[in-house]
Amino acid sequence: MSTTSKPATRSGAVTVIVLAAGGGTRMKSKTMKVLHPISGRTMIGHVLDAVASLRPHRVVAVVGNQREQVGPHIQELLPEAVLAVQETQDGTGHAVRVAWEALDPADRTGTVLVAYGDTPLLEGESLRAFAEDHVAAGRGVSILSGVVANPHGYGRVLRDAAGEVTGIVEQKDATEEQRAVCEINSGILAFDAEFLDGALSRLTNDNANGEYYLTDTVQLAREDGLPVGAFPIEDVLQTEGANDRAQLAALAKEKNRRILDRWMREGVTIIDPDTTWIDVDVRLEQDVTILPGVQLLGATVVAEDAVVGPDSTLKDVEVGAGAHVVRTHGELAVIGAKANVGPFTYLRPGTELGAGGKIGGFVETKNARIGDGAKVPHLSYVGDAEIGEGTNIGAGTIFANYDGVEKHRTVVGRHARTASNNTFVAPVHIGDGAGTGAGSVIREDVPPGALAVSAGPQRNIEGWAVRRRQGTAQAEAARAAGSEATED
């Protein structure tokens, strides 16, 4: 969780209540709605991150549906969060009452912010500005509102002739005239704790949904003579929730667009933002270039002047300064400065390529340390291996690490030169400066500086095609070239 050193508001403690008990049935998923990921983090993870940046005094998360999935996830992301269980989903007012009861009475002071767990674009800065406005205005309740083109389904913010907020009416309870209002309740509300403490037990479920509406607190505050008001957020997408997979995709696209925008403003070249996906925890340095069709996922880090793409997926990969990574799929790998990887290369976990090294086309690596300037240029599998600096591995080499039962390591020393189409049968050690012949199967250690040749001497069986492939094009060609049938 990212945190800043600024306190939550200029005036005192903030308690945040995150509602996440709803069913999310429109997702049609085994996975609870708020656990669906966007930009490499769950939806509720994004919300908790925004919330944590306020440095709240307390965070209470209300869970209910699939709480055995949601609860542990929240505890993992924010161990200090209080979990409140809402057994039945009787409305947002009921959910907040459950959260309130889970709080230590001593903590029921200051400002209380209520947010939802399914708004992945929410930013801590917006919450902070809202909370500060609430405190500065000395209100009993503040509404983070938004003006939208299609307000259908939302609670509408009602104002009197003077523009003062008078209440919130839900879609189902609204008159035709009220439904025409385009200022909506985003769902994020701020409360004075003392007012909220009294108001929660005054809520009723006397409405079209038969639910306890948190939004009825606006009316109650007015009855108490407390100021109420709405703080419109310009960037309404920040409070938008994803209720189904189509909305999830739309918000994911928008989140990604924002992440790319930020990196471009930081000095990263992104040739095609439409086909580039970058997770929220990825770090890029200045003058990195991302070519089309690239996904940078997880905790991937790309150092300056590196070029990634086209068509590459890197998850938890470190790319060194000035490296080039072309058409590569990589996971949990480290690529050294000025190294070259690809095209059509598969870097599996534990791959470490040194500075100036190369892992070329149609090469798969796993658990392999490849030294500075070392090269595995073509068509090879390198598993459970160590390759010393400056060594060149010939085309089509297989590091046979698996004997069918156990995996073993191969060590190749510094500045070795191994030839094409070799098999290194692990465990085996090839010394510094050693070499091998083409087609060798290396089962025994090769001492430093030695040339190991394991393929037998070549034997040419004259006239074989003419004799054994009679009537074929091969035999015809051989005969035309002067080959004659001889005895074996």
What is the binding site for ligand UD1 (CB under 6 A)? 19-22, 62, 86, 89-92, 94-95, 116-118, 154-155, 168, 170, 184-187, 213-215, 241
Smallest gap from Cβ 145 to ligand UD1, in A, equals: 9
Q: Rounded to the nearest 5°, which phi and psi values hold at 155?
A: -75, 135
Taking the least distance from each CB to ligand UD1, the nearer of 90 and 364 is 90
Tokens of 173: 């309870």
The active-site residue out of 134, 324, 378, 415 is: 378
How many whole angstroms separate alpha carbon 90 and alpha carbon 62? Answer: 12
Tokens of 271: 């040739």
**C-alpha angle 207-16-193 in degrees, rounded to nearest 5:** 70
**CA distances to 16, 36, 66, 91, 202 from 88, in Å:** 21, 22, 12, 9, 19
Smallest gap from Cβ 281 to ligand UD1, in A, equals: 24
Smallest gap from Cβ 225 to ligand UD1, in A, equals: 23
Smallest gap from Cβ 108 to ligand UD1, in A, equals: 19
Taking the least distance from each CB to ligand UD1, the nearer of 55 and 159 is 159
Taking the least distance from each CB to ligand UD1, the nearer of 84 and 290 is 84
Residues 81-94 as b or e (16 or more Cβ within 10 Å = b)? bbbbebeebbbbbb
Contact in structure between 44 and 241 (CB atoms under 8 Å): no
Smallest gap from Cβ 134 to ligand UD1, in A, equals: 17
Smallest gap from Cβ 243 to ligand UD1, in A, equals: 7
378 is catalytic: yes
Taking the least distance from each CB to ligand UD1, the nearer of 12 and 72 is 72
**Residue 455: CB partners within 8 Å, gap ≥ 6?**
437, 438, 439, 440, 441
- For the four alpha carbons of 456, 461, 466 and 468, in that order, the dihedral sign comes to negative
The label of the residue with tokens 């009537």 reads: 471
353, containing H or E segment: strand 351-353
Nearest residue by C-beta to ligand UD1? 155
The label of the residue with tokens 């191969």 reads: 410
Taking the least distance from each CB to ligand UD1, the nearer of 203 and 465 is 203
How many whole angstroms separate alpha carbon 365 and alpha carbon 215? Answer: 57
Distance of CA 120 to the CA centre of its chain: 13
Taking the least distance from each CB to ligand UD1, the nearer of 78 and 184 is 184
Residues belonging to the active site? 378
